[in-house]
A and B are shown apart, each in its own frame.
Chain A
């Protein structure tokens, strides 16, 4: 069975600093997709970044980047130059086939402090 684990229930960072959120997963599949979703207090889930397992290059979206270590089954999210608007719950998620279900980690609640 596929599982996703986020070991940091809460984190905080000072505005303009860099923070890294951890995620590990377990699967026997070779081709799959990994995601980080952001859920602000308004509660709409927003896709932050996506990684295809067959691509070795780490995905980057502006201030957001990932460190994808396939052998270690690790998928961490780095947020650079943290902004107050980055305060949210962050979910790591995994899917391995089209039409399959997205498997979420438990979430990390990030607070960006002024």
Chain B
């Protein structure tokens, strides 16, 4: 089945140690999104790629960066994770926003 896959499912990293989360999709969707979701809150959009065009949200910290080497893969890099960056990170894709997004299972990041 076509899907959005996030790895790893759980990630523990040390305070200040760079970490990379990955997302892949077999849907051939042209738009990929990264959301941060903290407990009992709505997902917060960090950035998205429309094809190769990167779109950063104004309030996304500089600590967060993203790469999209090809249509299928997208990475979230956190350069120096702080305790406040502990959250669930959701990757989503869409072909046409009007049909909604397809979400991955998420990566739960713990910072110790």
Contact = CB atoms under 8 A, between A and B. Distances in A.
Nearest to A96: B97
A97 B97 contact: yes
B106 A44 contact: yes
Interface size class of B (residues with CB under 8 A): 20 to 34
A95 B106 contact: no
B42 interface: yes
Contacts of A95: 97-98, 100
Nearest to A99: B50
Interface in B78-112: 88, 90, 92, 94, 96-106, 108
A37 B1 CA distance: 20
B100 A91 contact: no
A97 B31 CA distance: 13
Contacts of B104: 44
A101 B42 contact: no
A42 B50 CA distance: 28
B103 A98 contact: no
B19 interface: no
B96 A98 contact: yes
B103 to A, nearest CB: 4
A47 B106 contact: no
A52 interface: yes
B106 A100 contact: no
